[in-house]
Chain A
């Protein structure tokens, strides 16, 4: 029977997919490549897989340690501790960013009179509750909700297909402006968001029941989620056109509003809003959990659950204070793509990998 904190491979699969969907499903992540966004997503996928493989490698070296713990092992405690702590803070920041995005989107589409504090508070309360309950509850929740999200996705796709609003020609030309813009939006933008974000799972992998499966399962999940994301964005572009897509704040929503089947099945906005809420919830909770895990590890706190409240409250406050308007929030995001995100998502992991390799080379002759 299940132990007190063990995750099955199916649950990991479900969580990674839900996590990848997060906000990527509804936001225009392929802004710069417009009609080729679906292609950019697929192009960024291999890098995502390599990154995951890198994480798996580090995990296999230190199967019982979470991210901050094995950072300390690899580069020594004096450098490792601050780096680990920084990761904790970084995760909190990203969690707050996600909350802000979701909150703003919800307010823009449906809740325009509601203060943002309230919208965020509702979400954060639930996040704190789930983090407090522990990783197993979170993953079991994911196992249940993945079915739900897939069903939602299928329903909306079918509705769009049946409504006949798809114009495949809107996806062409593919090479109109050359390969440049497509690749440029794939790297580093799409690679960083959403693919490299799987680094949060490095805090959860030690709880996995069967370690060997983690690699395959993760790859499969990344593959599946990128295919689904790509398809969704392709549908979005073909329904609303590339011009509107690149100007939209919430293209999936705009696309769904045009769907009308048999004069009765219309106004499926609720489905998209639901998908947004669920996706953001899992992403946020995963980040919050990762942050809690790291903080508990860095400060040697035994009861991780206690940290849920303070970290949750911090995330809540940061999400409100981080930007005073949605465009500024977006601008911050774009800037962060070139500054802090690569540090945490590319440079440090690669550095860890290299240092680990070097250590192994040196330790082999001596052992």
Chain B
């Protein structure tokens, strides 16, 4: 079977603060909607997943990756980040508070594996701190885009 490596759409936003974790997840996931890689239903599903399964998406200190299942409204391949200047609590036992909120949409499981692999490697290489050190949303977007090896 022929496999194609699709480009990963990316964008970013910086917020000084949000009221709660749900707003943080919605903020990051709405960026996926802006990129047209996810529907509003997908954003709702990202929030519901945390309500159903707990704040496990906070997978590293200060870092969350919001996502849902492809069939819950993903329309393309995208990774976005909402950078919070004031960190918000998700209720995670060890990794709170969170200031780097990614959202991920993938159209199918093959693309999913590839995109997450790229993101996991970037996080190991210190992506979160590079994002935190960025001054503007444009700079954050550039850092993210380069990390997932996209042309901008």
Are A and B bound to each other? no
Q: Which residues on A are within 8 Å of B, measured CB to CB?
A: none
Q: Which residues on B are within 8 Å of A, measured CB to CB?
A: none
